Amino acid sequence: MDKKKLRNDLLLIVPLLVAAIIALVVLLTRKTNKPLVAKVYVSNEVVQTIDLSDTSERDYTIQGKNGELIVHVHDGSIKVSKSNCPHQDCVNQGEVKDTNHPIICAYNEVYIVIEGASDYDVEI
Amino acid sequence: MKESKFNVHKMALLGILTAGAIVIGILESLIPIIGIPGVKLGLSNIVILIVLYELGVWEAAFVSLIRVLIVSLVRGTFLSMGFVMSLSGAVLSLGIMILFVLLIKKFSIIGVSVIGALFHVFGQIAVAMIYLSTAYILFYLPVIAISAIITGVLVGIVAQLIINTKVIAKQKEKYKF
Amino acid sequence: MKRVILPLLFSLCLCSCAEPTPEYDEFFYGFDTYISVKVYEDHHYLFNGFKQKAETFSKECNRFVESDVIGVRQINSLVYDDQWLKVSDDLYDCLKKAVEYTELLKGYFSIYLGALSHSWDVALKDGQVLSEQDVEISMIYGNGTKLEFWEQGQSVRKSNYGEIDLGAIAKGYYLDYVKKCFDVYDMKKYIVDAGSSSILLGEKPTEDGLYTIKIKSVENTYIEAKNTFLSTSSIDNQIYTVEGKQYSHIIDPKTGYPQTLNQTCIVLTDSGTLGDVLSTSMMLMDIDKVKEAEEQFNAKAIIIREGQIIYQNPNIKVVNG
């Protein structure tokens, strides 16, 4: 193998890898001091805002584009416990507690994102 | 013997290689990547790279596109978002790899493989973002990019090792294509 | 002992900073959007009726989808039949109000232009504009259409080819129903949000009881309000541009074209139906007319153009930042 080409490879790969790792670290260390809420989007509209500082165990039924999902909230974490989507990616994602892991169900156009609570009660 | 584009032996070889790419594609589609549905490891790039380096640009395009088509038909995702994601990933990755192989000749097969893997993932994520109209998917980009770079290196090494065995080179010489 | 007290005090403080939790927190689909009901008091079995009512009434008001109830769809198919159609209490009442408002707000609001607004919708989504002729014909049909009422039979009769469109008014009417239910049971602390365009505010269970409502059309601005209906009409994210001209989804009853004067109108009233009607009508009004309407209907409005508030009623608390 050409030594020169290999050196060029490293010059290409290492910066890319480093950049990706830095991006990952920055993402993971994002923090918010506000109480957390989970926002459930269906086809890009927020259909439910769930207060995660309420630690009681509860379920929400979400009407997605092609079916129903059951979202389970307990003790500050949220997960999709049941969904009619074929791949079950959203269910396999498991529990999410922080702002860096959106749960996405492409089949139903549903995604769940955790954010710091909005200062407002409603937005018009 | 005239060098012909429609050499039967070449077709047969392409057929076998395409089948290989398809099988790898089907197997890897069974591995779930957490977070975004439809993002794949990109292992079938081993075959694409080999074809690109040993047989040519059009041949690589053929193998790649047929692979996307057949895998989606077999898995039942034809024309779904996953299909468009794979297609976009395949096209972008192929495009950038062809660019690197033909014009920017400064990198070895490993570098090409990595950049191909990255663009493959970019293509998939871009389509997912359009379909779901959301930027939240980008949360997963760093993790997936790191995985793409690492698999890219491994794929490149495997491809080079197979090329080194001269299996295809010997076929080319024997059947003059 | 100290090691227990400090953390306990700390978490107690945190608890008081947290958002109050509703006793009843439901959301459901209706009127092509999601309705959220939050009540901060002990609730009653009555609340299950909300979902049912939303479902039924939204089916009645829906002019496209076939369903098991008699509603606007059937009314719109009446032309020459001379037939009286019996409808539900709610629909009868709602239609009566709608016709009344069409009369009172002539030139700014009409429920008879359903066919025209649908044609515009179809054309604009396709990147087309309706021809002058098409608009003229639809206007003649629409303006020539009348809805008659027969009180005893609780029936209505429509003449001519115009089509009724209750889209601008249905959610507000539903919220009026919800408020009546709350009043019967003397509930005071609630917030009902129907797709953000129609909102019913009771009191928030905090000291001042005020809800904070962020205005998306203007930067860094929000309203503080309680015990009122809040209706919003806006062309944000709903503009079609064809051949360089911009078109919205609100038809001007004077011209038949979907072009509005204002970007967003927010109206506070004591009736959901009225609020919805006014917020739609005011999109076509200049400030003088807005003030006139405020007085006539005892309402308070905020008018926004190009991301700025160009008029706000002095009795609404608007906060910047």
CA–CA gap between residue C276 and residue C297 (Å, rounded): 12
Q: What is each CA distance from B163 to B99, B174, C74, C234, in whole angstroms? A: 20, 16, 72, 63
Which residues of chain B are modeled with pLDDT < 70? Answer: 1-5, 32-38
Q: From the list B35, B107, B139, which residue is nearest A12 (CB)?
A: B107
Closest by CA to B9, choosing from B173, B133, B120, B137, is B173
Chain B closest CA to A99's CA: distance in Å? 9
- Rounded to an integer, the average pLDDT of C145-169 is 90
Q: Which of B163, B157, B148 is nearest to B50 (CA)?
A: B163
Contacts (Cβ under 8 Å, ≥6 apart) of C133: none
**Residues of B in Cβ contact (< 8 Å) with A114:** none
With an 8 Å Cβ cutoff, are A45 and C34 in contact?
yes
Q: Who has greater pLDDT, C158 or B36?
A: C158
Burial B135-165 (b: 16+ CB within 10 A, else e): ebbebbbbbbbbbbbebbbbbbebbbebbee
Closest approach of chain A CAs to the CA of C82, in angstroms?
41
3-state secondary structure (DSSP) of residue C119: helix
Say if B128 is an interface residue toward chain A (CB within 8 Å).
yes
pLDDT of residue B33: 67
Residues of A in contact with B79 (CB under 8 A): none
- Chains touching C (3+ CB pairs < 8 Å): A
pLDDT > 90? residue C316: yes
Q: Across the interface, which of A42, A54, A124 has its CB nearest the CB of C213?
A: A124
pLDDT at residue A5 greater than cutoff 70 = yes
B145 touches chain A (CB under 8 A): yes
Q: Are A51 and A117 in contact (CB under 8 A)?
A: yes
Contact B35 A13 (CB under 8 A): no
Neighbours of C143 (CB within 10 A): 16
Is pLDDT at A35 greater than 70 in this prediction?
yes
The answer to whether C27 contacts A48, with C-beta atoms less than 8 Å apart, is yes
CB count, 10 Å around CB of A28? 13
Distance of residue A97 Cα from the nearest chain B Cα, in angstroms: 14
ipTM exceeding cut-off 0.85 for this assembly = no
Contact A/C (≥3 CB pairs under 8 Å) = yes
Among B28-32, C69-73, C170-174, name the one with the lowest average pLDDT.
Answer: B28-32
The residues, ordered by sequence, that sit 6+ positions from A110 with a Cβ below 8 Å of its Cβ are A40, A41, A42, A62, A64, A65, A69, A90, A104
pLDDT, tens digit (0-9, with 9 covering 90-100), for C229-238:
999 999 988 8
DSSP characters for C200-263? EE---SSSS-PEEEE-TTSTTEEEEE-SEEEEEEE-TT--EEETTEEE-S---TTTSS---S-S
Using DSSP, state whether C79 is helix, strand or coil: coil
Residues of A in contact with C220 (CB under 8 A): none
- Whether the predicted model's global pTM rises above the 0.80 cut: no
Minimum-distance CB partner of A89 among B37, B115, B152: B37
B164 Cβ under 8 Å from any chain A Cβ: no
Give the mean pLDDT of C143-154.
Answer: 91
Selecting from A9, A21, A113 the residue whose C-beta is nearest the C-beta of B111 gives A9
pLDDT surpassing 50 at residue C11: no
Q: At what angle do helices C272-281 and C170-184 cross, to 10 degrees?
A: 150
Residue A59 in tokens: 């379920």
Non-local (6+) Cβ contacts of B87 within 8 A are: B65, B68
C181 CA: distance to closest CA in chain A (Å): 22
CA A8 to chain centre: 36
**A vs C: CB pairs below 8 A:** 54
Burial of A114 per CB tally in 10 Å (0-12, 13-18, 19+): buried
